[in-house]
Amino acid sequence: MSSSSTDNIIERLGSKIVIASGNAHKIDEFQSLLKAPNRFVSQRDLGVVEVPETGQTFLENALIKARNAAKETGLPALADDSGLVVAALSGAPGIYSARYAGPDASDQENCQHLLQAMTGKTDRAAFFHATIVFLLHAEDPDPVIAQGRWHGEILAQGQGDKGFGYDPLLYLAKQKKSAAELTARQKNRLSHRGKALRQLLTNLSKRFQA
């Protein structure tokens, strides 16, 4: 979807939109993908503290974050919950991706923990998943929801220094690179978050069309 189409959708909403995340990397990706930076503000810039992610699914966690941001700011909210799903680990780390190695684990620690868990596994199939939701207000009974997946395989060791999270470990056969070896433009075109956000904008356009 073009930037002009994005602007048209956002203009119909009549206000700024808060991105319900304190993750600087995610916020940068959102801003890059949305191509309308003046329309969006991160919750950290408004002093909103991150809410505990107590849901049991990506959708539940995304809704928790969006409702909290909308309640605290009085603005429409956009939130995502995302993670890495590995077949050989019965779907782990899944919704616990950001804290796989512990509550305050770094990306490097999470990646190392994953590599240890994958020792001896022959099935390396995995995918990144993103669920994105949009709420007009905290009690919005009809959230706009979109999802995206990005399939690949888990490498035996990390490759590349771009991106964040588990990007160095997801190998993309078609590109013959890890997710961390892609340019930002390539990643935005291919990634789970890019797919989900483009679908969300389409869904928003349908909901708010004149």
Query: What structural domains does the chain harbor?
Result: 3-208 (3.90.950.10)
Measuring CA to CA, how many Å separate 139 from each of 32, 92, 134, 173? 28, 31, 12, 43
Measuring CA to CA, how many Å separate 19 from each of 14, 75, 150, 170? 16, 10, 22, 26
Q: Is the pLDDT of residue 59 over 80?
A: yes
Arithmetic mean of pLDDT, 152-174: 96
Q: Is position 123 annotated as part of the catalytic site?
A: no
Instruction: Give residue-wise pLDDT tens across range 69-87.
Output: 999 999 999 999 999 999 9
Q: Is the pLDDT of residue 14 over 70?
A: no
User: Looking at per-residue confidence, does 184 or 209 come out higher?
Assistant: 184
pTM of the model: 0.90
Catalytic residue among 81, 107, 140, 142: 81
Q: To the nearest 10°, the Cα dihedral for 179, 180, 183, 185?
A: 50
